[in-house]
Amino acid sequence: MIRKFLNRLFGRTDSITDAINSYVGGNASADETSLVEQMMRDDPALEKDLAAQRAMLGVLGKIGRIEAPRSFAITPEMVAAAEGSQSGISKFAELFAPQRKFAMAPAVLAGFAALTVALLTIGDLAGVIEQSRGGDSSASAVAVESAAAPAATPAPASVATGGLPESDTASTAPLEAAGAAIAEPETTDAAAAPAATSAPPAGAPRALDSGITAGDSSAVGEAQDADAPSSLAAAPPQNLESADAKLEIDGDGEVAKRGEVIPEDLEESAAASQLQEAAEAVPETESIAGVGIGADIGEGAGEGAGEGAAAGTAKGAATGAGDGIELPLWQLQIALAAIALAAIGAWAGLRRARGE
Amino acid sequence: MTNFDEQRFIQLTRDGDYDAFNRIVAEYHDAVFAVVLRTVRNRAAAEDITQDAFISAFRKIASYRGGIFRAWLFRIAKNASLDYLRKLSRRPETSMDENIVYFSETVEDDSADPLAETLNAELARLIEHCLGGLSDDHRLAMVMVDVEGYQYDETAESIGVSIGTIKSRINRARARMRDCVQMQPELLPASMRL
């Protein structure tokens, strides 16, 4: 049964069908003839059936020959008229005509988009895929919180790999930054995550080059002097690093002063302004942020996640540890649904253009 | 046929030579028209489709990449025929039955018996009726192989499917034809009766 189905699916015929076809058509080989004769011995009704088919073919072959009723010679005028009558749209539509190569393209596209929407929805309901930014407010908050913890952790990773001195201060700085970011308004947090996320490769070398250390008061001065960050890859990490180095969060999430040179309000305002600037410059794409960072920075991620949890974002920490994939789900669903609808519309339009 | 240098005419057609292409048309118009007519079963439509197929072939001659040229022509005609049938099926106000043309006047028979001639004419009508009852794909395969006598490979190339698919379609088409003609056994010769 399955074999028969597969043969039909792939247009294959089995040897018995071939043998019967050849026998009825009168061009069977010796093997095919013996096979069919054996079958006819086993099933006498088959013999009569095949004989009737052979006779029918004989009649079919004798159906009167058809001759063209007129000449079908073409002229340049005919060709010109045919080319003139075919608009660009109809030419394009012809590419998708039923017997052509791309006939199924719109249907396949629509089906793929619809299937993806369905899978995303199922994944969302099953918890495999989590909503990230751009969803409803609660979902958005989840994504932001989850991103905040690992967001600042690239700083320690870069500092550590860069071999900066004052490791005590430097290693605590990112965790402090994470806490600071969480303590900030939501918009700032949201920015801090991707800003620092994309920063490590460029941010670390820059920090090293400029000789910034966690305890260096001049770093804050640089941060203060710095204009709005021109790009996420360069400015935010440097500024965050230097500014965050001056801040420390205690267990309750309060900001403590550490710098002696820079006044308290200036430090805070510097950090806040840097984060705010970063928030404004960050694009709204942070898919899989928590997962990616967690993987990149290894231990740092765990610390960041732990700090985030300590700051009261247990859910964010869990996500940062790698549970599920964050996607801007409803935007994707809407976009794919729009693609499906567009493909269906195109299919209908192409049919109309072909005059069907 | 012996003077017909197909490849040379194809090359000349590629250079825009209408006369050369019309030699090709003259060579194949009977075959193309027969297949188209037996597929669409409407004489006027078959003429239009055949004419359009040749015009289309002239315009697309550059896309011919070798192989059996007649099969390439058949494929263009087949696409046009199936397009026509598809459009027709979407316009229910146009009934296929009203446009059936019984183009086979009779089944060729050497006997001069007037009764046999009448019976053969009736048999021809029955066969045409049963052919019309097949699906488009099955009818096209059967017309090309069993009526027009083309080989499986050329038919497969013309229709654009594998040889296995053609064999399978032929097999099913024959079975359905057999069932159909058995419904009027009085018209059948003794050898065709079950």
**Do B1 and B89 lie in a common domain?**
yes
* Nearest-by-Cβ selection for B192 from A12, A52, A68: A52
**Do B12 and B49 lie in a common domain?**
yes
Q: Which of B37, B62, B95 is the last residue of a domain?
A: B95
Tokens matching residue B78: 């087949």
Backbone phi, psi, residue A247, to 5°:
-115, 145
pTM, two decimals, is: 0.51
Which range is most confident: A26-35, A92-101, A248-257?
A: A26-35
- pLDDT, residue B115, reads 63
Q: Does residue B3 sit within a domain?
A: yes
The residue type of B68 is I
| Alpha-carbon distances, residue A288 vs A143, A158, A212, A323, B25 (angstroms) | 9, 20, 31, 10, 64
B162 pLDDT more than 60? yes
Could you tell me if B94 lies within 8 Å of chain A, comparing CB atoms? Answer: no
Which range is most confident: A219-228, A281-290, B106-115?
A: B106-115
**Do B115 and B60 lie in a common domain?**
no
Backbone phi, psi, residue A352, to 5°:
-65, -40
Could you tell me if A138 lies within 8 Å of chain B, comparing CB atoms? Answer: no
Domain containing residue B163: 105-194
Between CA B41 and CA B94 the distance in angstroms is: 13
Which of residues 56 through 95 in chain A touch B, CB cutoff 8 A? 56-76, 78-79, 82-83
As a whole number, the mean pLDDT across chain A is 59
Between CA A265 and CA A257 the distance in angstroms is: 9
Task: Specify the range with the lowest mean pLDDT, choosing from A18-22, A315-319, B12-16.
Answer: A315-319
Please check whether residue A63 is in contact with residue B104, taking contact to mean a CB–CB distance below 8 angstroms: yes
B144/A197: higher pLDDT: B144
What SS3 string covers chain B? Answer: CCCCCHHHHHHHHHCCCHHHHHHHHHHHHHHHHHHHHHHHCCHHHHHHHHHHHHHHHHHCHHHCCCCCHHHHHHHHHHHHHHHHHHHHHCCCCCCCHHHCCCCCCCECCCCCCHHHHHHHHHHHHHHHHHHHHCCHHHHHHHHHHHHCCCCHHHHHHHHCCCHHHHHHHHHHHHHHHHHHHCCCHHHCCHHHCC
- Dmax (CA) for chain B in angstroms is 57
Q: Which secondary structure element, helix H or strand E, spans residue A128, and what is its range?
A: none
**Do B88 and B109 lie in a common domain?**
no
- What pLDDT digit, counting tens, does each position of A287-344 carry? 433 333 333 443 444 444 444 444 443 344 344 445 566 667 777 888 888 888 888 8
DSSP letter, residue A102: T
Query: Would you call B105 and A64 a contact, using CB atoms and an 8 Å cutoff?
Result: yes
- pLDDT, residue A1, reads 56
Q: Which of B61, B95, B129 is the last residue of a domain?
A: B95
Between CA A144 and CA A313 the distance in angstroms is: 10
From chain B, the residues in CB contact with A26 under 8 A are none
Side-chain-side CA neighbours of A195 within 13 Å: the count stands at 32
- pLDDT, residue B28, reads 94
Backbone phi, psi, residue A131, to 5°:
-70, 135
Q: List Cβ<8 Å contacts ≥24 apart for B29-34.
A: B29/A68, B29/A71, B29/A72, B29/B54, B30/A65, B30/A66, B30/A67, B30/A68, B31/B70, B31/B74, B31/B148, B32/A72, B32/B73, B32/B74, B32/B77, B33/A66, B33/A67, B33/A68, B33/A69, B33/A72, B34/A65, B34/A66, B34/A67, B34/B148
Tokens matching residue B163: 């040889």
Query: Would you call A62 and B171 a contact, using CB atoms and an 8 Å cutoff?
Result: no
B83 pLDDT more than 80? yes
ipTM: 0.79
* Nearest-by-Cβ selection for A11 from B22, B51, B168: B168
Query: Would you call B104 and A97 a contact, using CB atoms and an 8 Å cutoff?
Result: no
B159 pLDDT more than 60? yes
From chain A, the residues in CB contact with B124 under 8 A are 63-64
Q: Does residue B100 sit within a domain?
A: no
Query: Would you call B182 and A354 a contact, using CB atoms and an 8 Å cutoff?
Result: no
A270/A229: higher pLDDT: A270
**Do B66 and B153 lie in a common domain?**
no
**Do B83 and B49 lie in a common domain?**
yes
Question: Between A and B, how many residue pairs show a Cβ–Cβ distance under 8 A?
Answer: 151
- Give residue B133's Cα distance to chain centre: 15
Number of domains in chain B: 2
Sign of torsion over alpha carbons A294, A300, A305, A308: negative
Query: Would you call B108 and A62 a contact, using CB atoms and an 8 Å cutoff?
Result: yes
Other CB atoms within 10 Å distance of the CB of residue A123: 16
- pLDDT, residue B117, reads 67
Between CA B103 and CA B123 the distance in angstroms is: 13
**Residue for token digits 């099913």?**
B172
Could you tell me if A17 lies within 8 Å of chain B, comparing CB atoms? Answer: yes
- Calculate ∠ Cα A158-A163-A165, nearest 5°: 110
**Do B90 and B4 lie in a common domain?**
yes
- pLDDT, residue B182, reads 83
Q: Does residue B181 sit within a domain?
A: yes
CA-based nearest residue in chain A for residue B60: A79
CA-based nearest residue in chain B for residue A55: B192
Sign of torsion over alpha carbons A69, A71, A74, A78: negative
The residue type of A249 is I
Q: Which of B34, B64, B95 is the last residue of a domain?
A: B95
Between CA B29 and CA B26 the distance in angstroms is: 6
Q: What proportion of chain A, given as a percentage, has pLDDT over 90?
A: 3
The residue type of B169 is R
From chain A, the residues in CB contact with B36 under 8 A are none
**Do B126 and B91 lie in a common domain?**
no
A116/A250: higher pLDDT: A116
As a whole number, the mean pLDDT across chain B is 83
Between CA A315 and CA A309 the distance in angstroms is: 8
A6/A293: higher pLDDT: A6
CA-based nearest residue in chain A for residue B90: A356
**Do B12 and B85 lie in a common domain?**
yes
Average the pLDDT over A243-258 and give the result.
44
Closest alpha carbon to B104 in B63, B83, B132: B132
Min distance B132 CA to chain A CA atoms (Å): 13
Q: Does residue B27 sit within a domain?
A: yes
Min distance A339 CA to chain B CA atoms (Å): 27
- pLDDT, residue A13, reads 52
Please check whether residue A190 is in contact with residue A237, taking contact to mean a CB–CB distance below 8 angstroms: no
- pLDDT, residue A274, reads 61
**Do B90 and B116 lie in a common domain?**
no
Spell out the residues 6+ positions from residue B85 whose beta carbon is closer than 8 angstroms to its own: B39, B40, B136
Average the pLDDT over A29-50 and give the result.
86
**Residue for token digits 């040897």?**
A15
CA-based nearest residue in chain B for residue A52: B192
Query: Would you call B178 and A56 a contact, using CB atoms and an 8 Å cutoff?
Result: yes
- pLDDT, residue A153, reads 42
From chain A, the residues in CB contact with B40 under 8 A are none
Q: Does residue B72 sit within a domain?
A: yes
Query: Would you call B107 and A62 a contact, using CB atoms and an 8 Å cutoff?
Result: yes
Buried b (16+ CB within 10 A) or exposed e, A125-149: eeeebbbbbbbeeebbbbbbbbbbb
Read off the CATH number of the domain in which B160 is found. 1.10.10.10
Which of residues 20 through 59 in chain B touch A, CB cutoff 8 A? 21-22, 25-26, 29-30, 32-34, 37-38, 43, 47, 50-52, 54-56, 58-59
* Nearest-by-Cβ selection for A76 from B18, B34, B181: B18
- What pLDDT digit, counting tens, does each position of A62-82 carry? 776 788 999 999 999 999 888
Q: Does residue B14 sit within a domain?
A: yes
- What pLDDT digit, counting tens, does each position of B92-126 carry? 555 444 445 555 555 555 555 666 667 677 887 88
- pLDDT, residue B9, reads 93
**Do B114 and B179 lie in a common domain?**
yes
Q: Does residue B11 sit within a domain?
A: yes
- What pLDDT digit, counting tens, does each position of B20-72 carry? 999 999 999 999 999 999 888 889 999 999 999 999 999 989 889 888 899 99
**Reduced to 3 states, what is the DSSP secondary structure of residue A242?**
helix
Min distance A317 CA to chain B CA atoms (Å): 58
* Nearest-by-Cβ selection for A53 from B51, B167, B174: B174
B163 pLDDT more than 60? yes
**Do B78 and B33 lie in a common domain?**
yes
Please check whether residue B24 is in contact with residue B13, taking contact to mean a CB–CB distance below 8 angstroms: yes
- Give residue A239's Cα distance to chain centre: 32
Between CA A320 and CA A301 the distance in angstroms is: 8
pLDDT band at A212 (very low <50, low <70, confident <90, very high): very low
Side-chain-side CA neighbours of A346 within 13 Å: the count stands at 22
Between CA B56 and CA B74 the distance in angstroms is: 12
